[in-house]
A and B are shown apart, each in its own frame.
Chain A
Amino acid sequence: MSDNRRIATVTQLNNFIKALLDQTPVLSNVWIKGEISNLKLHSSGHIYLTLKDEGAVLRAVMFRSAAGKLGFRPENGMKVLAGGRVAVYERDGGYQLYIENMEAEGQGELYVRFELLKKQLGAEGLFDQARKKPIPRFPCTVGICTSPTGAAVRDIINVLRRRCPSVKAVLYPCLVQGEGASKSVVKAIEYFNAVKGADVLIVGRGGGSIEDLWAFNEEATVRAVAASDIPIISAVGHETDFTICDFAADLRAPTPSAAAELAVPDVADIKRQVGEYRSRLSVRLREKIVGSKRTLELLSARAGKETFLRSLGEKQMSVDRLFDRISGDYKSILEQSQRRLSVEAGRLNALSPLGILERGYSVAMAEGRAVRKLEDVTTGDEIWTTVSDGRIRSIVTDKEGAK
């Protein structure tokens, strides 16, 4: 069987196409405009991505050696300009762009400068959280570094007037774009610091293109913001505009109006708060008084009853004690008396003349007195002699002395 077909292996075909592309000079150095998608930052350091526009996609790779020189961090959706060569990747049977250089399209040069400076100052620690100063809650004076003719200053003043009219605002008129703008903003920041002219600074301007906002991406401005002793709120452009000053500032506000809101408290809020404290004081004091009164009533009610019972008990006790004492004394006195009585009775009994008379003695009495001696009587006297059972009357007839 004759075979006129040309047969080649896959490898042969891919090699053939590869050779064709390699031999096309224009493909060895092209700049392609597109949007990044399917971005993959590989741990090897290589970057894999797809460039796309409205109609087509192109696979691309950026090897580590080239990726390391990138001045910014690529992201999905970013519009870029990628330069390199187009070649076949035989294994996948596809062609791709081998990127040597890449820049963010449009912003291009400025964008790269932005990223480079941000990286450099970040590495110096200018954006460290530890450096951030707290924004005072109740500033006396707000310093404003912006253009005296822009919308930003008007917005800021309006918000200050609405929220906190007791604050003082001092505007240092600045150029905020074009030649000399950075220098002007730096001067304003330095002025406020030199004279300690404000408690907080608002540094910024309204929205604009990256070129318009550039003064806030210049190294001198960023360093002045970072070096300020007075806390700085940055307020450049709109919500989506980021400048390097935003990173160096103590607080970033999305807009100048928002910066003013962050700089001062809302007096109406504080008045409400003070009013609330005031009413809490009243309520608590009233509660305290009512509570104390109730406690007092309870206590006094209890005290009345208890005191009565206690004093009653005490009286009972003292009555008992007195009774004990009295009855004890009485008993002992009685016993003592009985004892003494029986002793005396014994003695009395012993001394009783009746007993002596029983024993045969008798007592002679003359004129009511016991006769003891001869001289107690004279002859003719009447003598009564008491014996155990009566008396005998005698007349003295003779006296005779004892021998």
Chain B
Amino acid sequence: MKLAYYPGCTLHGTAREYDASTKAVCKAAGIELTEIDDWNCCGALEAIFDKELSMGLSARNNFKAQKTGLDLVIPCSICSHNLSRADKAMKTDSGFRAKIEKALGEKYTGVNIKHLLDVVVNDLGTETLAAKFTKSLNGIKAVPYYGCLLIRPSEVCKFDNPENPTSLDDIIKSTGAECLPFTQKTKCCGGNLLMSKQDYAFILTKKLFDEAKSSGANCIVVACPMCHMLLDGQQEMIEKAHNTVIDMPVLYFTQLIGLAMGLSEKELELDKNMVSPAKVIDSIGKGVKKAEVKIEAKPAIEAEAAQ
């Protein structure tokens, strides 16, 4: 599988371990990534006060991706949201399209944009992925955290259920790690409140930690650099603000997959996480094997629909 790759600013900065583990895992899984040429910032959520500017900044990257003739994969939920929205606007809003085509002097035909999690779960598939695994991560007890823009709004992100997503759950289970129920999985980490009301951001993130800890998890698995920045990067600040000890490692799903593939900690840049994941890595292989009888609890509505 060949894909164009847009890392986004954070993956070349605070989320460098997401970039490194994405590249390492894709290489091992046979996905060839070509980074698009001279890409720019998508405007993140900071351009929300100017919708056209936000989409215009993103659209330039779509033009760059279009030149590769490949589908575009993005690991960051915010970038993926912005570039997808820009693609949609370029196709449906002729006024906006005319402005951007004029600014860049090119015609836009469109590009197929996907979040990395979508590619791994749906295009590659967990079975194909599991065939590349060299060890079971039995012992890791993880909660999947999806956050916001990975799954919402569903008119932009179509690959999972916006109210009860399961793709990260599927990945965690495929590695042999235990995936614990997490009612906070789609709640907001407060990332975008960090600059407007830091104490609120910390309260929201602390709620995630509280449930993760009470469920007995030894790590949280994420697919967004903004969530990671709050949960991992700000964890020490949250501990100070709330006078508590959290000590909860937060892994990118690519780091988890990489561990199951037997890739080295260095390749996955596990030393770059702010909260040391040493405890999680030590737990591998030390899980208590449960009885084989498993009852898959399905929501009643889903079960009815299946009939």
Partners in one complex: no
